[in-house]
A = this chain, B = another copy of it.
Amino acid sequence: MFLLRNLCILKDIKELKKILGVFKMELSNRIKRLRTSPVRKLVTYSEAATKAGKKLYYLNIGQPDIETPKVFFEAIANYREPVLKYAHSAGLKELREGIQKYYERKDMNYLLDEILIVNGGSEALQFVLMSVCDEDDEILIAEPYYANYNSFFDTLKIKLNAVRTYAESGFHLPSLEEMEAKITKKTKAIMLSNPGNPTGVVYTKDEMERIAILAKKYNLYIISDEVYREFVYGDNKAISFGTYKDLEQNVIIIDSISKRYSACGARVGCVISKNKEFMKVIYKLCQSRLSVPTLEMVGATALYALPDDYLEKAKFEYGKRRNVIFQELSKMEGVTTREPEGAFYAVVKLPIKSAEEFVIWLLTDFDIDGESITLTPVEGFYSTPGVGLDEVRISYAIKEEDLIKAMKILREGLIKYRNR
């Protein structure tokens, strides 16, 4: 009876709270922080332009147009198990062995347990950040950085120690001192994309060394996104953090087949590290989502069995495209850019106030013979507010002849926009 009366009081309090608005159906604060991807933000405008009959050259997304090797589809078509079962949470053994051999060819030796398959670089990042950072922990990163990282920073409430880099110096890293000044006791890791998305930078040995020194000195993880590893041009050389023996416990490599083998739609990536304690929790996270799609792993296994000349050819093709955009950009008045070093991106400073406005204008108010282009404003790739407003990212993942047309549209568009 006493219990029952208590229960009634409890219920009344709850009723009261409901009236007072305590029991509101509301989304979480972490999700309210979530920004929209700058790449996806302008989709409405490009969809409207296409609908209106305009032909667009997509320089805004990192979607290669090089064919996915046929072996990928063939391996999947030959899959003969009658039941499509959960795969092992760590990923197919054959695929992990293939990745192991690929790394061996690059003089990096990993045990199978040091390679875990995940749903693309995206899941890799999410798992890694979750394992390394609590709320309010910090990550040292050079800005501009790949804007999709923001979704994970936002929802996990991770803060950034952003080190500013500049178009004028090809987005190379500042001095050791400048980077060190950003480190606080909350800093857990240094994160990098090398070759870099969105900037196309390839870090020199000396820059790598700066990161290594800081990681050692402050016991930081190095989260190294190396998905564009093969795509470096001219004298540039992408050094992997996997080759730093004395940093074995610090280094976490994020890798993926998306760009390497033109298979973005497969969503197959991996997390690689020699830090056993770390890999143990990544494996637990892998178990929590049961498995990565089986068939896509079967296809990916066939990709890793390809001879290296496939990658040489892809690199050669992207190299030609790089030359086209660099030559064309160099001719445009007031445009600041340096020769892109790697990946298939360049961040370019334009002689205008608002890149976003210009990008929208290209979709809504401009065309040459019914054709226009999509670009990505870089503002959203910075965490410092108000910088990069005049910069765009150009992705040169489309074919040479289209790039030439696209560059013409950019050049003439810029002139017309400025004379508006």
Name the CB-closest residue of B to A181: B7
**Any B CB within 8 A of the CB of A135:** yes
Binds B, one of A62-70, A306-314, A374-382: A62-70
Complex CA gap A38/B375 in Å reads 49
Contact mask for chain A residues 73-87; partner B; CB cutoff 8 A; 1 contact, 0 none = 100110100111111
- Starting from the known contacts A23-B187, A122-B288, A148-B288, 9 additional A-B residue pairs (CB-CB under 8 Å) come to A18-B218, A28-B130, A30-B130, A31-B284, A36-B287, A119-B293, A122-B290, A155-B285, A295-B299
**Any B CB within 8 A of the CB of A296:** yes
Instruction: Name the interface size band of chain A.
Output: 35 or more
Q: Could you say which of A73, A288, A292 has the most chain B C-beta atoms within 10 Å of its C-beta?
A: A288
Complex CA gap A133/B30 in Å reads 8
**Contact residues in B for A135 (Cβ distance below 8 Å):** 135
A77 CB to nearest chain B CB (Å): 4
A-side residues, CB < 8 A to B, are 7, 10-11, 14-15, 17-18, 22-25, 27-32, 34, 36-37, 40, 61, 63-68, 72-73, 76-77, 79, 82-87, 89, 119-120, 122-123, 126, 130-135, 137, 148, 151-152, 155, 177, 180-181, 183, 185, 187-188, 217-221, 249-250, 262-267, 277-278, 281, 284-285, 287-296, 299
Contact B284 A36 (CB under 8 A): yes
**Contact residues in B for A65 (Cβ distance below 8 Å):** 83
Contact of A86 among B123, B265, B299 (CB under 8 A): B265
Contact B218 A14 (CB under 8 A): yes
Complex CA gap A285/B155 in Å reads 9
Contact A263 B84 (CB under 8 A): yes
Contact of A185 among B17, B25, B37 (CB under 8 A): B17
A180-B11, A290-B122 known; A25+B137 contact, CB < 8 A: no
